[in-house]
Amino acid sequence: MSALALVGATAAAAANAATSATSASAANAATSAADASPQFPVLTALVVLPAVGALVTGLVSRRRPEAARQVAVLFAVLTGALSIGALVLFKTGTPGFQLVDKATWIKDLDISWFLGIDGISLFLVVLTGVLFPIAMLGGIPHHDEKPFYAWLLMLEAGCMGVFLALDLFVFFVMFEIVLVPMYFLIAGWGYERRRYAAIKFFLYTMLGSAFMLVGLVATAVLYQRAGHPLTFNLVTIATNQGSIATTTARWLFLSFAVAFAVKVPVFPLHTWLPDAHTQAPTAGSVILAGVMLKLGTYGFLRFGLYLFPEAATWFAPAMVTLGVIGIIYGAVAAAMQRDLKRLIAYSSVAHLGFIVLGTFAITTQGLEGGVLQMVNHGISTGALFLLVGMIYERRHTRAIAELRGLQRAAPIFAAVFTVVMMSSIGVPGLNGFVGEFLTLLGAFLTRRWWAVVGATGVIVAALYLLWAYQRVFHGKLDDANADFGELRLREGLVLAPLLGIIVFLGVYPKPVLDRIEPSVKALVAQVENNGGQRQPPVATTGTSAREGTFVRGERKGAGG
């Protein structure tokens, strides 16, 4: 109930922000918005809508449990449509934040409800909006219990808030909110060892968050001691980050990095992930892999590189090393699994190692590949967990040894699994190839030998996924699998959007890369300046935002 109260309070604060943000606001305290035109607070709505949906779902009568699922799916679909609307309104070619919503929350501390979206966060928001309704519809239907769907919507609100927040305090609140619903989803609707997995997940993540809390408070206080007004505004602090001593900034980066490394997770902080994935219900696994793991990799981009560029450069060799170890370790560990769901969980450790490698290569190609691979992993691995959930629903087992010859019983199901598996391997023509190629290319430019070692992970991934596929779908059809059943209409409709995205991004990724590239280039240029008086991307307002730069806290338009 305390979690419901927390979300209710957050939704109320956001609703107040929405009222104040019907006029577009400035990027930070120093930016003038005199030329801004009124706009609908799209980003605030992306956070508020699922939070309100969670409360409405919780009010559904217990005598109509099926209505809870219908209400939750409706709110999730509306949120997904709104995320597509943000994509349509997003102006290509602008490196800064767009569709900005800003309203004062705690005036004395300069804490604001400050949301913005750029090329780095845009497709993570769309991914979140798309995956949640798919997870609700694709999960095992017997979850007609309103708390289950209320927790899912609360989780969506928190994830949206993380990807959109440009205030350190708001980011932390949203980062913490996501822990509560995921804990209850695993503990309440998971499998045999669900409580152990839920507690392990919660403790690991809470420990990392404690480090981040210390880091963000210290960042704001040290910024004030450098002669600036106290603020938690990310853009304001990033503009003047040279005020904090180099050694101190490295410690601050480390405090944030611990929290993000746990969430990714980066080797060796990954041990909670296989248990959480294996014990979570299907919808929980889809969201955990597709969205929640991206909170950590996104945090490295938004707060590690953007806020502490010199420290990120200094720590880059260590982070690249951990990323490559994660690639190899995850691939080898996956090859040793006999549970299909656990195998996919370890494959996520390897895939996220690629994202860490691309991020800390700190090149345009590496970062583009990393951002794109976040989206690709969410789509492909989310689809794999859906398919494994469908197998479990039919056979009540995930043991690879007990699944044999399924292609004979369900050829269409096998064909869909093949496409998704190939996208996860990174076969050309499917989405996984583009992200992996850009990541390795970017890493090769600065970390040549690590890129070569990381590339071996692609080969190992192909081996263990093909091995698992051969064991499950080929061979003699066992009697226990004879009535496995073909892909159902509901399942096909749920998987169709994911299959479409897999093929589209593999054949024609240009529209996505065109929107990612300007923000990535601006971030790389910022990091290369090593922290002094840097020029971060401008936070712009409205749907017709103009390109510009911050110069000593003042906004200059594209025309100078």
Res 420: pLDDT = 94
Specify the pTM.
0.84
Tell me what the mean pLDDT of segment 2-30 comes to.
40
pLDDT in tens, 464-473: 889 989 988 8
What was the pLDDT predicted at 403?
86
Mean pLDDT score, 529-556: 38
Q: At what angle do helices 340-361 and 272-279 cross, to 10 degrees?
A: 130
The residue-averaged pLDDT of 143-158 equals 87
Residues 6+ apart with CB under 8 A from 497: 130, 134
Distances (CA, A) of 516 to 155, 252, 369: 25, 27, 10
**Contact (Cβ atoms closer than 8 angstroms) between residue 531 and residue 309:** yes
Q: How confident is the model at residue 540 (pLDDT cuts 50, 70, 90)?
A: very low
Structure tokens belonging to residue 33? 């918005």
| DSSP-assigned letters across all residues of 426-455 | T-TTSHHHHHHHHHHHHHHHH-HHHHHHHH
3-state secondary structure 179-191: HHHHHHHHHHHCC
Average pLDDT over residues 201-222: 91
Residue 395: per-residue pLDDT: 85
What pLDDT score was predicted for residue 508? 93
Instruction: List 555's β-bridge partners, or say none.
Output: 550
Q: How far from 177 is each of 156, 162, 215, CA to CA, in Å?
A: 10, 10, 18
**Cβ pair 405, 474 in contact under 8 A:** yes
Residue 4 structure tokens: 């419901």
Q: What is the mean pLDDT of residues 240-247?
A: 77
pLDDT band of residue 405 (cuts 50, 70, 90) is confident
Q: How confident is the model at residue 144 (pLDDT cuts 50, 70, 90)?
A: low
Instruction: Answer yes or no: is pLDDT of 560 > 50.
Output: no
pLDDT digits (tens, 9 = 90+) for 270-325: 889 989 988 889 999 999 999 999 999 999 999 889 888 889 999 999 999 999 99
The number of helix segments (H) and strand segments (E) in the chain equals 23, 4
Q: Which pLDDT band holds residue 538 (cuts at 50, 70, 90)?
A: very low
Tell me the per-residue pLDDT of 115-141, one tens digit each, with 9 for 90 and over.
999 999 999 999 999 999 999 988 765
pLDDT of residue 198: 92
pLDDT band at 378 (very low <50, low <70, confident <90, very high): very high
- Give, in order, the Cα–Cα distances in Å from 559 to each of 255, 548, 549: 39, 8, 11
Per-residue pLDDT for 406 more than 60?
A: yes
Work out the average pLDDT over 404-433: 91
Answer yes or no: is pLDDT of 143 > 80.
Answer: no
The pLDDT value given to residue 530: 60
What average pLDDT does this structure show over 372-380?
94
Residue 454 confidence (pLDDT): 84
| Pairing status of strand 548-551 against strand 111-117 | unpaired
Euclidean distance between CA atoms 535 and 548, whole angstroms: 10
Contact criterion met (CB below 8 Å) for 238 and 550: no
Q: How far apart are CA 515 and CA 502, in angstroms?
A: 18
Whole-number Å distance between alpha carbons of 440 and 324: 11
Mean pLDDT of the chain: 83
pLDDT at 228: 85
